[in-house]
Amino acid sequence: MGKVAFVFPGQGAQYPGMGRSLCEVSPAAAGVFRMADSLRPGTSSQCFSGTEEELKETKITQPCIWAVEMAAAAALNEAGIQADMTAGFSLGELSALSYAGVVDASTCFELVCERGRLMQDAAVAVETSMAAVVKLSHETVEEICTRFEGVYPVNYNCPGQVTVAGLKSSMADFSAAVKEAKGRALPLKVSGGFHSPFMAEASAAFGKLLEPVVFKTPAIPLYSNLTGLPYEGDMKHLLEKQICSPVRWEAIIRQMIAAGVDTFIEVGPGSVLQGLIGKIDKHVRVFGVSDAESLAKTIQEVKAC
């Protein structure tokens, strides 16, 4: 077997009840939730019992997803499965940061809580939304965006899929132009225009919060959304600018495969990243851990290799 990568999803992957069964089967996972509840009371109850509408609120979404992701990673490590390298999509990059040992879990969780608050404040300041554009090339999507006020390509997910963020007032006409070009624009379950210039104030404020935090060298290769490459140089700059810059997900996965990864494990709720990775390279193996059932299946499959 080649190398194993843990990849952590971002907003939009949340669902009511997430994380509950992991805690029932893994003491390590339960420990993550105890830590989260000690710093932000109610985190576990929001994950386990919160409504879909509640979990869509960015200041709630981000700490809740982070807790589930780190719980799933802890459960995998507890079972003897560890990553050779790691990356995360948007919010997931904070989980990857913690997993790679750049900051300790409690410090990272506090940063996630602040990031969620700042991004929610930015999201409500302007009426924006996001959509995944499929069946068109990256270049075609970029060109269509230039025709509309305040519409930007923000996530380069896989061949034939780019997420855009834009003013709500522009998105209906943008979607019509996408349809005319033989593509489809699929609305996303998020509350703002993330990874775009609409997040500039949140990005700058988060950068200020990062200034006193001590960052360690990653224990394993950690990939940046901003560059699509392993972290190097000013790590805080990479994390700050990630908030208002496109996510280079396709580039990250291709870099990981070139570095020897043949097994990807999506660590946390949902299966979006599994689907994207399969479209980037159908020859790699892709698993997911979001609950007790998928944890057991992944452990069995990976250890059998």
**Quick one: which of 177, 181, 158 has its CA closest to 166?**
177
Q: Copy the structure tokens of residue 45.
A: 């109850």
Known catalytic residues?
90, 195
- Residues with Cβ within 8 Å of 299's Cβ and at least 6 positions away in sequence, in order, are 76, 79, 81
Closest alpha carbon to 126 in 171, 160, 85, 70:
171
Output the 3-class SS for 199-235: HHHHHHHHHHHHCCCCCCCCCCCEECCCCCCECCCCH
Q: Which residue has the tokens 């780019």?
A: 162
Structure-token match 């089967």, residue found: 25
Nearest to 11 by CA among 165, 238, 208: 165
Token pair belonging to 48: 């386990």
